[in-house]
Amino acid sequence: MLSRHQDPIAAIATAPGRGAVGIVRVSSPQDLAPLVQALCGRSLKPREASYLPFRAATGEAIDQGLALLFPAPHSYTGEHVLELQAHGGPVVLQLLLARCLEAAGATPELKHIRLAEPGEFTQRAFLNGKLDLAQAEAVADLIDASTETAARSASRALSGALSSEVGALRDALIQLRMLVEATLDFPEEEIDFLQQADALGRLARLTERLDGVLDRTRQGALLREGIKVVLAGQPNVGKSSLLNALAGAELAIVTPIPGTTRDKVSQTIQIEGVPLHISDTAGLRETEDVVERIGVARSWEAIQDADVVLFLHDLTRVGEPAYEAEDAEIRARLAAVDPARILQLYNKADAVAAEALPAGALTLSAKTGAGLEALRKRLLEQVGWHTVPEGQFIARERHVQALRRTREHLELAHAVSTQQPPALDLLAEELRLAHDALGEITGAFTADELLGVIFSSFCIGK
């Protein structure tokens, strides 16, 4: 993909389907004047909308709309960009796109025009220095945001909030690296270096600031990825009722017949702006029913993949030997799951009073809604969510991992710097590795393969 970034590209930039307005976008390192003349019949003033007919090769109008020309470098991609805003019918837009390809293909300078690949317009913005990689990813995150909080946080990241934080860390790290590298040239001064340059103090302050950015980034990753929650337990403990109560809609069938739910029923809700992807699963039990057995197997697969497992119990059956035996079997199998991911819930509190329960367990009634608010708060606590005073910026798991690697190298740097005598060559290397890890976030040090993965998840036309 990167080897072809000098080709002119074109695509429909609006979502598939019918709409009032649709946009066809063309971007090219080469001048688009020949294409403008072929489509519009005249030249266009830069960054000024012109209402005119879009012409077919025969001269007849395909449609009438607005044409905008953005000469390089003052465009989204940093290249010459032409946008045609027409009526949003799929056929009209396809005709316009085909006409752009036809007209450009007949021009020597633009003959290599092709359809844009997913995310290629934004990729060119990154390659041409209009956006860094974190901002480019925020474009897709803003489009994909499923909650208002996620959208606002993506907007902050797009405006450079995350990049600014990373840049401040990078600048402090560069200053520390310069001091270490300079001292390496004067070995006789190594012993006094740490005290004179306050290297340990600088390193401690840098680590403290990094911890703050890492915390905010974890919160941003939760806003983007959401939390995968699985409802698990024996049949008829109220899993489907709880899903309906949390979603506020009758999504799952609820009956007193065991085994009603045979496959996952999923719904995404939000709590304080954090998306929760909740899955109701088949009741966990041994069964001769082939279909139900498949559903139970899928339930265990979902449990392994969940961020939080809500293990539901039926208060009206607590103490019954057969019920307790089945619960014990489920507990034994859940022993392979990280205990921090399991939350014990005792349902049907409206029917019977809860007595001695395990530490940390919650009681609720999916029928009346009692205890649901406490459950919502616990779910957020379970994954470490909290409101950041400075405001969240949306982030991705790769950002979190890069910051964690940065911190690991800073910890190793601290260990090296406290040795007697300090091994400054090793200290310089750990600081360099920390610098490289930070650079991965904004794209300063990023493999082409990673760029391909990131931009391939974008929609075509963006």
The domain that holds 90 is classified in CATH as 3.30.1360.120
pLDDT digits (tens, 9 = 90+) for 350-385: 888 777 788 888 999 988 989 999 999 998 888 888
**In a shared domain, residues 118 and 143:** no
**In a shared domain, residues 273 and 363:** yes
Q: Confirm whether 280 is domain-assigned.
A: yes
**In a shared domain, residues 366 and 334:** yes
Q: Confirm whether 220 is domain-assigned.
A: no
Nearest C-alpha neighbor of 381 from the set 243, 227, 231, 233: 227
**In a shared domain, residues 231 and 375:** yes
Per-residue pLDDT for 184 more than 90?
A: no
Model confidence at 2, in pLDDT bands (50, 70, 90)?
very low
- Predicted pLDDT of residue 252: 44
Q: Which of 125, 149, 178 is the last residue of a domain?
A: 125
pLDDT digits (tens, 9 = 90+) for 57-68: 999 999 999 999
Per-residue pLDDT for 282 more than 80?
A: no
Cα–Cα distance, 143 to 67 (Å, whole number): 24
Q: Confirm whether 461 is domain-assigned.
A: no
Extract the annotated binding site: 25, 83, 130, 236-241, 255-261, 280-283, 347-350, 462
| Best mean pLDDT range from 23-37, 287-301, 356-370, 373-387 | 23-37
Extract the annotated binding site for K(+): 236, 255, 257, 260
- Predicted pLDDT of residue 449: 65
**In a shared domain, residues 237 and 158:** no
Q: Confirm whether 417 is domain-assigned.
A: yes
For residue 194, the domain's CATH number is 1.20.120.430
Q: What is the mean pLDDT of residues 5-14?
A: 93
Q: Confirm whether 212 is domain-assigned.
A: no
Q: Confirm whether 277 is domain-assigned.
A: yes
What is the extent of the structural domain holding 250? Answer: 225-382
Q: Confirm whether 278 is domain-assigned.
A: yes
pLDDT digits (tens, 9 = 90+) for 75-105: 999 999 999 999 999 999 999 999 999 999 8
Model confidence at 253, in pLDDT bands (50, 70, 90)?
very low
- Predicted pLDDT of residue 34: 94
**In a shared domain, residues 70 and 161:** no
Q: Which of 94, 125, 156 is the last residue of a domain?
A: 125
Q: What is the mean pLDDT of residues 403-427?
A: 88
Higher pLDDT, 198 or 28: 28
Domains contained in the chain, number: 3
Q: Which of 327, 359, 382 is the last residue of a domain?
A: 382
**In a shared domain, residues 252 and 350:** yes
Do residues 148 and 417 make contact, with C-beta atoms less than 8 angstroms apart? no
Q: Confirm whether 133 is domain-assigned.
A: no
For residue 281, the domain's CATH number is 3.40.50.300
Ranking 203-217, 328-342, 426-440 by mean pLDDT, the lowest is 328-342
**In a shared domain, residues 37 and 59:** yes
- Predicted pLDDT of residue 332: 86
**In a shared domain, residues 260 and 376:** yes
**In a shared domain, residues 111 and 239:** no
- Predicted pLDDT of residue 189: 53
Extract the annotated binding site for Mg(2+): 240, 261
Extract the annotated binding site for (6S)-5-formyl-5,6,7,8-tetrahydrofolate: 25, 83, 130, 462
**In a shared domain, residues 202 and 269:** no
**In a shared domain, residues 251 and 375:** yes
Ranking 25-29, 237-241, 258-262, 442-446 by mean pLDDT, the lowest is 258-262
